[in-house]
Structure 1
Amino acid sequence: MSRPRKDPRAARAAHRIAGGARPRFDLAAAPAPAGRPRRDPRAEERLALVPGTLRRRLDRAQRVAVASAMPPALPEAPEAAPRLRVIAEPAFLVAVVPDAPGGRLSAHDRQLFGAARMLADEGGGAVLAFVAQPGEDLGPAGADRVLALPVSGHDPEAKALALNAALAALDLRHVLFPESTDGGDLARRLAALSGEPFFAGAESLSPKAVTRAARGRRVEQRRVPPRLVNLAPDAVAPHAGTLHEALPVAFAFPQPSGGAVLSAEFIPADPAKVSLAEADFVVSAGNGVSDLDTFRALVAALNGTPGASRMLCDAGLMPRSAQVGASGTVLDARVYFALGIAGAPQHLQGVAKCEQVIAVNTDLHAAMIERAGLAIVADAQKVMPALLALLQQERQP
């Protein structure tokens, strides 16, 4: 596996004949003592070679020690748990009003908490989250306090009235909203009710300045951060590193009065007809899937949006609109389920923004298996009917 590594200076000194005016060397003298072991890459490659495969594959997990004289490796230190940071008496509050679709924070919402932490940590403040349903992900996101809004369902008018009451009673230095459909509407309603200055579409934010592009992005508008700010996506990085307590607080909201919205119901779109760019759960088939009827049945059972790799679309087995990747559609889905997809670079670019990736492939070393948070090393043709049977079993009374 390894051989001693030569030290050229020691070898030269061992062969030198002393006592001469000119340096002379005896090549028949004993060799210099061996230094540190030297790796033999060919021997390592032979040991890592996986037998019984048509293609040449290497299992890098089967490496052995290159020499017995090497000092043993130090044990890896266990990963430290995130430190809990407690702010008992904050000097002020920076509020965050996330969208939180389905009761969970989106990537844009976590960026809001990152911006709020930056503003609050500047002067000893704390971050207050206004949510409809408190969740466990608020503490890791960076929330010190959590205040539940007395509004259920889609009622932006009642939510704006509740936020206006909190804005007048609490010491809120800033209130951050996401620049989204619901967040933008709610921020503008609150600005109209309170009369506070409002900055929409902020592309950068710091304790001293907030900026945005204007006039066809030819001009940059800059000012001191006002009390109400709408933050664009990817303007600030999410909070990471410390865990915050997300302590629930109580507040006497005024009794909600009857507004213009009498009742509101969220009607989800048919996932089979939603475009891939707007889909939340995508199930894709690759070259490892040959039974497309079972694949379509699995997509319908999982209530997902069908996708495909470029090979299936080029073969005409799936429509071009279902192609996932840099040359097709770049996804922004919450979950991506890849069946029989190896993971070409263009395909991996298309799923880079997905929060969770699940992959099924027979190749342990496939790029999609490495990208996935949950990997199943098996044949997709056998996994699909097994999943259908489990889903059917769960739906039975």
Structure 2
Amino acid sequence: MSEIIRRDPRAEWIARNRLHPLHAALQSQNQTVWIGPNGIVRKNPHAIAAGFIGPAGIKRIDRSGAQQGTGTRRSASVEVQLPLHVVEQPAYYVAVVPDMVGGRLSSHDKDLLGLARRLAGSEGAVLAVVFGEHKESAFDSAGVDRLLLLDGEQYQGYAPEQRVLALRAVDNQFAPRHWLLPDSRTGGGELGRRLAASLGERPATRVWQAEGERCVGRAGAGQQDIQRPLARLILAAAECAEPVSETRHEARPVELAWQVARNLPRIEDLGPVAVDPAQIPMAEAEFILSGGNGVKDWELFHRAASALGATEGASRVAVDDGHMPRSRQVGATGTWVTARVYLAVGISGAIQHLQGIGACDKVVAVNLDPGCDMIKRADLSVIGDSSAILQALIERVAAWRQEGRRDAA
């Protein structure tokens, strides 16, 4: 029998393509070192045996040698215990006021906490100030050392003046070295500017980089950078820093030493105004129902989007086939979206589409193929016919609303 090593180019390509359905089958779970076709020793740096799964789901290489020669390997399902960072007596504080859209930390908020962690260093503590009730359970892994919850009906809805009074009380008690707020349209930008006026500070706005004693902000419609000394009050843009991913923090609850005075409101909040989801730009939508080649009844798809109150999106295949306008295409060749919930119906998951939804918080996939890439990406998957599932969704939503009307009556 010939000892010549024969190569299979197709198998090698599948082994390199992690999104291919057969990729996992061609990976040898026990092979971390092998002889290549030219006699060179090859090592697999992505093998879990050579490292561990990081907190963000990324494989980390262990260069300490602690896991070598033990004969054991970690699996992706094993939770890695991150080192706990404790600051008992902070030398100073860096205060962060996240937007908490939907009661949870957004990607922008986590970037902001990453910047705060960098500014706090080893001697400072990151103080997060959160208004109202929240649903977040990962303040510790986001880099929060101290957590101050300010709850009460006076902070509900649109109450910027009352919130500024509370932040002034925080400033008097904790004297933060820096204030960090997201320069966003969901409240942080306005609140930060109101706080700056109240404190008499000149804020640094649209900051995307802060190093040493300098910070850099965007200007001129994003075409120009402005450098200035590091300000005490910073309104930071998205992706201003890497989120905290390698340490846990206490998120120790703290309280204000005195009661915040009630503000005589000059602004009356009349509550939210219903907005047609079809008029919301996809880049700003919080809930997107997206259809692909697997959708056979587009009229039913539109009725489902209306019943769910979702903004409609589509894959490139659906757009090319004329089912949806080009402005509704999601992906690297269309619109990059940052929805809190992205419901993909009949979308197999091309690499360009997966890139476009990379910043979405929760992805729900409906598909007949349990091995498609969208199912692998999804946080929740439903295997079944799209028409039947959309019809069931419409019926459940109608029943839920009818039950709510009976309870209100």
**TM-score when scaled to structure 2?**
0.75
User: Alignment partner of 2:279: what SS?
Assistant: coil
User: Alignment partner of 1:282: what SS?
Assistant: strand
Alpha-carbon displacement from aligned partner over 1:54-80 (angstroms, at most 9, x marks no partner): xx985854888999xx9xx94422442
Measure, in 2, the Cα distance between the counterparts of 1:355 and 1:190: 29
Say whether 1:279 aligns with 2:285: yes
Hey, what does 1:52 align to over in structure 2? Answer: none
Say whether 1:153 aligns with 2:157: yes
User: Alignment partner of 1:189: what SS?
Assistant: helix
Measure, in 2, the Cα distance between the counterparts of 1:387 and 1:218: 45
Which of residues 68, 73, 76 in structure 2 aligns to 1:76? 73
Question: How many angstroms does 1:39 deviate by?
Answer: 9.4
Superposition pairs of residues 244-255 of structure 1, within 5 angstroms: 244-251=249-256, 252-255=258-261
Superposition pairs of residues 338-357 of structure 1, within 5 angstroms: 338-357=344-363
Question: How many angstroms does 1:370 deviate by?
Answer: 2.8
Measure, in 2, the Cα distance between the counterparts of 1:234 and 1:63: 34
User: Alignment partner of 2:366: what SS?
Assistant: strand
Alpha-carbon displacement from aligned partner over 1:282-302 (angstroms, at most 9, x marks no partner): 111111111123222322332
User: Closer, same or farther in 2 for the Cα pair 1:382/1:64, shift >3 Å?
Assistant: farther
Hey, what does 1:127 align to over in structure 2? Answer: 126
Question: How many angstroms does 1:40 deviate by?
Answer: 9.0
Whether the 8 Å CA contact 1:306–1:322 is kept in 2: the answer is yes
Measure, in 1, the Cα distance between the counterparts of 2:325 and 2:194: 43
Measure, in 2, the Cα distance between the counterparts of 1:59 and 1:125: 45
Alpha-carbon displacement from aligned partner over 1:250-296 (angstroms, at most 9, x marks no partner): 11143122031133422242224323222111111111111123222
Superposition pairs of residues 85-234 of structure 1, within 5 angstroms: 85-122=85-122, 124-133=123-132, 135-149=136-150, 151-181=155-185, 182-214=187-219, 220-234=225-239
User: Alignment partner of 2:301: what SS?
Assistant: helix
Q: CA RMSD in A?
A: 3.4
Matching residue's letter, 1:141: A
Question: How many angstroms does 1:117 deviate by?
Answer: 0.8
Question: How many angstroms does 1:116 deviate by?
Answer: 0.7
User: Closer, same or farther in 2 for the Cα pair 1:349/1:215, shift >3 Å?
Assistant: closer
Hey, what does 2:37 align to over in structure 1? Answer: none
Matching residue's letter, 2:297: D
Measure, in 1, the Cα distance between the counterparts of 2:378 and 2:99: 27
Whether the 8 Å CA contact 1:324–1:331 is kept in 2: the answer is yes
Hey, what does 2:245 align to over in structure 1? Answer: 240
Whether the 8 Å CA contact 1:360–1:377 is kept in 2: the answer is yes
Measure, in 2, the Cα distance between the counterparts of 1:212 and 1:57: 43
User: Closer, same or farther in 2 for the Cα pair 1:217/1:79, shift >3 Å?
Assistant: closer
Matching residue's letter, 2:73: E
Measure, in 2, the Cα distance between the counterparts of 1:229 and 1:164: 16
- Please say which of residues 381-390 and 97-106 is displaced more in the overlay: 381-390
Question: How many angstroms does 1:355 deviate by?
Answer: 2.0
Question: How many angstroms does 1:172 deviate by?
Answer: 0.8
Whether the 8 Å CA contact 1:130–1:147 is kept in 2: the answer is yes
Whether the 8 Å CA contact 1:166–1:253 is kept in 2: the answer is no
Measure, in 1, the Cα distance between the counterparts of 2:30 and 2:147: 55
User: Closer, same or farther in 2 for the Cα pair 1:84/1:329, shift >3 Å?
Assistant: same
User: Closer, same or farther in 2 for the Cα pair 1:306/1:241, shift >3 Å?
Assistant: same
Alpha-carbon displacement from aligned partner over 1:68-118 (angstroms, at most 9, x marks no partner): xx9xx9442244223333222111111001111121111111111101111
Hey, what does 2:53 align to over in structure 1? Answer: none
User: Closer, same or farther in 2 for the Cα pair 1:75/1:308, shift >3 Å?
Assistant: same
Identity, in percent, stands at 39
Measure, in 2, the Cα distance between the counterparts of 1:290 and 1:219: 47
Whether the 8 Å CA contact 2:337–2:356 is kept in 1: the answer is yes
Alpha-carbon displacement from aligned partner over 1:189-234 (angstroms, at most 9, x marks no partner): 1121111242112120134321224567786433432211111111
Measure, in 1, the Cα distance between the counterparts of 2:120 and 2:216: 19
Whether the 8 Å CA contact 2:291–2:344 is kept in 1: the answer is yes
Question: How many angstroms does 1:392 deviate by?
Answer: 4.8
Q: How many equivalent pairs are there?
A: 350
Measure, in 1, the Cα distance between the counterparts of 2:263 and 2:223: 45
Alpha-carbon displacement from aligned partner over 1:371-396 (angstroms, at most 9, x marks no partner): 22223343323433344444455556
Hey, what does 1:311 align to over in structure 2? Answer: 317
User: Alignment partner of 2:216: what SS?
Assistant: strand
Whether the 8 Å CA contact 1:97–1:130 is kept in 2: the answer is yes
Matching residue's letter, 2:184: S
Whether the 8 Å CA contact 2:21–2:372 is kept in 1: the answer is no
Whether the 8 Å CA contact 2:165–2:261 is kept in 1: the answer is no
For the pair shown, the structure with the greater C-alpha radius of gyration is 1
**TM-score when scaled to structure 1?**
0.77
User: Alignment partner of 1:364: what SS?
Assistant: coil
